[in-house]
Amino acid sequence: MTNIKISAKGVQVYYGDNHAIKDVSVQIEDKTVTAFIGPSGCGKSTFLRCLNRMNDTIDICRVTGDIRIDDEDIYDPKVDPVQLRAKVGMVFQKPNPFPKSIYDNVAYGPKIHGLARGKADLDEIVEKSLRKAALWTEAKDRLNEPGTGLSGGQQQRLCIARAIATAPDVLLMDEPCSALDPIATAQVEELIDELRQSYSVVIVTHSMQQAARVSQKTAFFHLGNLVEYGVTEKIFTNPEDPRTESYISGRIG
Ligand SMILES: Nc1ncnc2c1ncn2[C@@H]1O[C@H](COP(=O)(O)OP(=O)(O)OP(=O)(O)O)[C@@H](O)[C@H]1O
């Protein structure tokens, strides 16, 4: 039985003339946290955005190569990017709740994708998503209050609940803790570890400590190349490539 969720082959990304991702091939596992690390500008976020076609929204961006999720070509013209993004949820650097109530933030996706069969069903999805995002206890008595009134860490967990509510297979996280204090960061990291039981989680992080704490697999990017990919512990203790070694020992980046 294969555990591969995402398979990318020969992926190239250009922003105009800037060749940002150079022939990247990688197989990302299900029920695993995979960390993308590397110096600023190496292409981590660009490659992450390829996985739910978020780069489609950037005019000058061109993506080629083959990316499959559960063996389905996500760049096939038959694939609706909006549906794809429900299946491949994304959490951004800065918590970005909608200017709506906590309840509506979570209910929005299931509503537009027709995932609920009425109010009771929707209530259940909202509760389940908030529970999975470890926010239910704090939010259950204020569901009608604005999501923007929560603390930064709570807002980020709300954004995770919103991503989970559309029953995704994959969760992409682009530096999800960079705007959070150490306590909120620890809570989100704990949550990422739990989410691994249900999803394939891919996280971009600038923090090598965070990559070491939360991920089982790590991909090291440098100047648009995927230099090394493997078991996190090995990448951090015994990397194969001298560039990885330099990065983890703080000599580049
Ligand atoms: N929206 C964009 N338009 C034009 N060029 C972009 C865009 N986003 C990224 N790039 C370019 O693509 C390259 C890779 O950037 P990317 O943001 O993917 O790197 P990163 O490793 O995530 O960096 P950081 O860690 O600083 O966020 C850089 O040269 C960057 O200037």
Interface confidence, given as ipTM, is 0.97
Confidence of residue 2 (pLDDT cuts 50, 70, 90): confident
CA of 35 to the centre of ligand 1 (A): 17
CA 41 to centroid of ligand 1, rounded, Å:
5
> In the predicted model, what is the mean pLDDT of residues 212-231?
98
44 vs 20: CA distance, rounded Å: 10
CATH assignment of the domain containing 105: 3.40.50.300
pLDDT given at position 180: 87
Q: What average pLDDT does the structure give for the chain?
A: 95
Indicate if ligand 1 lies below 6 Å from the C-beta of 45. Answer: yes
Domain range for 111: 4-249
Whether 112 is in the pocket of ligand 1, judged by its Cβ within 6 Å, is no
pLDDT average, residue stretch 98-103: 97
Query: How many domains does one find in the chain?
Result: 1
pLDDT of residue 253: 60
Q: At what angle do helices 152-164 and 119-132 cross, to 10 degrees?
A: 130
pTM higher than 0.90: yes
The predicted structure's pLDDT at residue 252: 67
Nearest alpha carbon to residue 108 among 53, 164, 58:
164
Average pLDDT over residues 184-203: 93
C-alpha distances (whole Å) from 4 to each of 73, 194, 230 are: 14, 19, 14
Q: Whose CA is nearest to atom 23 of ligand 1?
A: 41
User: Is the shortest distance between the CB of 237 and ligand 1 below 6 Å?
Assistant: no
Q: pLDDT tens, 164-191?
A: 999 999 999 999 999 888 998 999 999 9
Asked if residue 55 lies in contact with residue 13, where contact means CB atoms within 8 angstroms, the answer is yes
* Residue 28, CA atoms < 13 Å, CB-side half-sphere: 32
Q: The tokens 């009771």 sit on which residue?
A: 120
